[in-house]
Copies of this chain bind each other. A is one copy, B any other.
Amino acid sequence: MVDIRLGDNQYGKAETRLVRVDRGGERHSITDLNVSTSLAGDLDATHLTGDNSGVLPTDTQKNTVYAFARDGVGEIEDFGLRLARHFVDTTPTITRARVRIEQYRWERIQVEGAPAPHSFVRAAGTRTATVTYDGARSWVVSGIADVTALNTTGSEFHGFHRDRYTTLPETTDRILATAVSARWRHAGESDWAVSYREAHRHLLEAFADTHSLSLQQTLHAMGERVLRHRDELVEVRLELPNKHHFLVDLSPFELDNPGEVFFAADRPYGLIEGSVVRDGAPEPGLAWW
């Protein structure tokens, strides 16, 4: 008889699309979210025998997202905390909840130079939050995704290790482009809105004004910049695809190409991943789980 057991598991409702309209006065505002919830705990019965008495349906998780939005959403970190605590604190079998939220950005449409009171146009970039709660402690990670940035100069790449498969020429001037995915871990409860706005700003500023010898160096500079300015944050994790822009060889057409005409490639792409941590940061626990 082979002995086999259930290992780690969780379940939830992914990608509940919630749009919240705040109609206070003449001037409306909107909150546009994609919410995913995951619950873990004593779930052996449903796996082993199909006894669902400990399972809060994923449909209920979705309903809860909508019902909780009735009272307002606020900052997504707070909304995630409310949801995560609710699931663990009120469901007997559930000992751990994770809530992941993406928030899409909207700007007001301008009509004859003035912001329209209830009209919006979608802007690029996504704000993110991941909240984890285990019944006693909570962990909050905030971030951005899909923020595509590009420097037309100020980027070099040379002096790298060469082996028999290396053909890449060295360069002292290239385009550096990436789609920033960054997440930052809070020491405790922050002023989420300010923290997001400032971390976002510092990441882009560091990307722009770092003279780069490698995308790794830029990554580190971005994370370090955030930690130097934001005491409430203890760690920044970044995933930076290197979206290659290749200088086109125009010499067959008797043309030079002094850093002006590029082919933007899709695949393959470099992928640089790294973390920057404040010394003495508390253990991450379930933050990145």
Chain A residues at the B interface, C-beta cutoff of 8 Å: 2-23, 28, 30, 32, 36, 38, 43, 46-60, 62-64, 66-67, 69-70, 90-93, 106, 109-112, 116, 118-125, 147-154, 156-168, 175, 204-205, 207-209, 212-217, 219-220, 223-224, 227-228, 235, 237, 241-242, 245, 248, 250, 252-253, 255-280
Q: Are B273 and A166 in contact (CB under 8 A)?
A: no
Q: Are A274 and B8 in contact (CB under 8 A)?
A: yes
Q: Are A2 and B47 in contact (CB under 8 A)?
A: no
* CB of A155 to closest CB in B, whole Å: 10
CA gap between A240 and B118 in the complex, in Å: 19
Chain B residues lying within 8 Å of A256, measured Cβ to Cβ, are 70
CA gap between A123 and B152 in the complex, in Å: 16
User: Within the oligomer, what is the number of copies of this chain?
Assistant: 4
The 9 closest A-B pairs by CB, nearest first: A50-B213, A7-B275, A9-B274, A119-B208, A3-B279, A122-B148, A52-B160, A17-B264, A47-B220
Offer 7 A-B interface pairs, CB within 8 angstroms, sorted by A.
A5-B277, A11-B271, A11-B273, A17-B263, A21-B260, A119-B208, A122-B147
Chain B residues lying within 8 Å of A150, measured Cβ to Cβ, are 30, 106, 119-122
Given the known inter-chain contacts A111-B205, A153-B118, A267-B15, please indicate yes or no for A49 contacting B228, CB distance below 8 A.
no
